[in-house]
Structure 1
Amino acid sequence: MVGVRDLDPSASPLDYYGYELRRLREGAGLKQSQLGDIIYCTGSLIGQVENTKRVPTRDFSERVDAALGTDGHFSRLVGLVLRSVLPTWFQAYAEMEARASYLSSFQPQLVHGLLQTEAYARAVLGVWTEEGLDAKVAARLERQRILDRDNPPLMWVVMSEAVLHQEIGGREVMRDQLAHLVALRRREWVQVQILPYEAGAHAGLPGEFNLLRFDDDPDLVYTEDFVQGYMTANPQAFREGSLRYDHLQAAALSVEESAARIARVMEERYGEHPEPDGRAVA
């Protein structure tokens, strides 16, 4: 077992989290099993987090804060921990994504990560290996928190109709994901357009891309392949990306028509029709 004195709290956010959890738990005079009883988990889980063998979730952190009276200390720290779980090459983009005032994206194959349900994200992230899957899913859900802020970024996503038909994670997972997309109509700052099959050849054929706009920083273009991501603030690249995106929006169905197309796919593939709040009814 790794003792608290063996942890270097400056080594990583996860090491610091584990160090602080053990320090404050012991300061409160609690054994691991006692803290576990208070926050409805096992003492073994407490030990695994303290020893950096397990990545904490936001829910875990909020319960620890409540139990130890740490005034949101772990709830604030867990964001850094979960961001450190992301691939090294993706972390810089995630930081910029969280600061952007306007996000626009073209997605030809998958639902955008910020709009994925937990089950859909689990199926996507676990396609190659389930090693560290819980932490990866938690990190993706953490990224989505920017859409719940008091002043969220405006997010506009154009997705190929193929995304609606590519069954990820099985029928139930995909049905719930489509219902979630329909329910996004309730969010003023999130807009989804579907690029229909009938659009034919289009400006997004080279692949997915993201455009990030900022109030005080240079705008960015982000693309990725199966190895890593590429981010640039080159004005000409952003200009070309913006033009491509304008063409994609023009070729896509309207926001209202897109919601109807998603609902139609749900009904045709799963025999269910979603209500405006996204709940599926037979």
Structure 2
Amino acid sequence: MVNIRDLDPSASPLDYYGSELRRLRDEAGLLQGQLGSIIFCTGSLIGQVETAKKVPTRDFSERLDAALGTGGTFSRLVGLVLRSQLPHWFQPFAEMEAKATYISSYQAQLVYGLLQTEAYARAVLATGLPDNLDELVAARMERQRILCRKHPPMIWVVLDEAALYRPIGGLEVMRNQLVHLLSFREERWVRIQVLPFSAGEHASLIGSFTTMRFDDDPDLVYSEDLISGHMTANPETVKEAALRYAHLQAAALSVEDSAALIIRVMEERYGHQPGPDQRAMA
């Protein structure tokens, strides 16, 4: 079994988190089992986190801070730990997404990650057959914390109508996802438009893309291929993306009409609440 003293705290955010947990627990004079009892988990879990064998959750981190009186140390660290669980090629995008002041995204197949429910995200991420599904889901939920900031970014999403009909995760998951989309009507900083099938051919048949703007940095455009993502600040690419996005917004339904369509699809296609083992039929 790996000894915590063999870990290099600089090796990764997870290693640093584990080493800090061991150090602060020792300073508090607590055994792993004693600390586990205080924060309602097993001593074995404490040991797994200390040896970088287990990724901590935000709830676990907040309970650690309360138990050890760390002033929020672990609550701050856990964001870095969870982000480090994302695919390496996606981490730069997640970092810039967290800094953006304006995010505009066209999504051809799926709901944008910042607007996904946990169950929907789990179903999407499971398609890649990852070994660390729980950690990937937690990382995606962690990304959404930017929506709760005092000054969140402005987010404008054009969602292809196809994304409303694709039964990701089954009927109940989809209904809850559409309910979640509708909840953003009350948010000043989030706007959702649906690009209807009736629009026919449109400016981004080639696929999804996201543009990010910043207070002091150049705009960025992000897109993905089969196995990785690509981010660029090339002025011509940024200009082309802005033009295409403007055309998409013009072809999409208004925010109000988009909400009405989401409600109609939700009731007509996902109105029945299935049992936990039932799935939608194509």
TM-score by length of 1: 0.95
Instruction: Show the counterpart of 2:24.
Output: 24
Instruction: Show the counterpart of 1:209.
Output: 209
Query: In structure 2, what is the Cα distance between the partners aligned to 1:43 and 1:64?
Result: 13
What root-mean-square deviation, in Å, do the aligned CA atoms of Structure 1 and Structure 2 show? 1.0
**Equivalent position amino acid for 1:145 in 2:** R
Identify unmatched segments of 5+ residues in structure 2. Answer: 273-282
Instruction: Show the counterpart of 2:269.
Output: 269
**C-alpha distance after superposition, 1:41-70 (max 9, x if no partner):** 111111111111111111111110001000
Instruction: Show the counterpart of 1:102.
Output: 102
- In the alignment of these two chains, the number of paired residues is 272
**Equivalent position amino acid for 2:51 in 1:** N
Per mean C-alpha deviation after superposition, the further-off stretch among 263-272 and 68-77 is 263-272
**Equivalent position amino acid for 2:91 in 1:** Q
The secondary structure found in structure 2 opposite 1:223 is strand
**Equivalent position amino acid for 1:197 in 2:** F
CA offset at residue 271 of structure 1? Answer: 2.4
Query: In structure 1, what is the Cα distance between the partners aligned to 2:164 and 2:179?
Result: 11
CA offset at residue 268 of structure 1? Answer: 0.2
Query: In structure 2, what is the Cα distance between the partners aligned to 1:228 and 1:177?
Result: 26
CA offset at residue 166 of structure 1? Answer: 0.3
User: Do 2:194 and 2:253's aligned partners in 1 also have CA atoms closer than 8 Å?
Assistant: yes
Per mean C-alpha deviation after superposition, the further-off stretch among 122-131 and 183-192 is 122-131
**C-alpha distance after superposition, 1:76-110 (max 9, x if no partner):** 11111111111111111111111111000000000
Per mean C-alpha deviation after superposition, the further-off stretch among 28-37 and 100-109 is 28-37
**Equivalent position amino acid for 1:157 in 2:** V
**C-alpha distance after superposition, 1:175-205 (max 9, x if no partner):** 1101000111111101000001111000110
Moved over 2 A (4+): none
Percent identity (aligned): 69
Instruction: Show the counterpart of 2:179.
Output: 179
Identify unmatched segments of 5+ residues in structure 1. Answer: 273-282
Instruction: Show the counterpart of 2:229.
Output: 229
Instruction: Show the counterpart of 1:50.
Output: 50
User: Do 2:175 and 2:271's aligned partners in 1 also have CA atoms closer than 8 Å?
Assistant: no
CA offset at residue 128 of structure 1? Answer: 2.7
Instruction: Show the counterpart of 2:278.
Output: none
CA offset at residue 270 of structure 1? Answer: 2.4
Instruction: Show the counterpart of 1:277.
Output: none
Instruction: Show the counterpart of 1:117.
Output: 117
Instruction: Show the counterpart of 1:84.
Output: 84
**C-alpha distance after superposition, 1:223-261 (max 9, x if no partner):** 111211111101110000000000000000000111111
CA offset at residue 117 of structure 1? Answer: 0.5
User: Do 2:174 and 2:270's aligned partners in 1 also have CA atoms closer than 8 Å?
Assistant: no
Please tell me whether residue 75 in structure 1 is matched to residue 75 in structure 2. Answer: yes
Query: In structure 2, what is the Cα distance between the partners aligned to 1:37 and 1:116?
Result: 34
CA offset at residue 13 of structure 1? Answer: 0.6
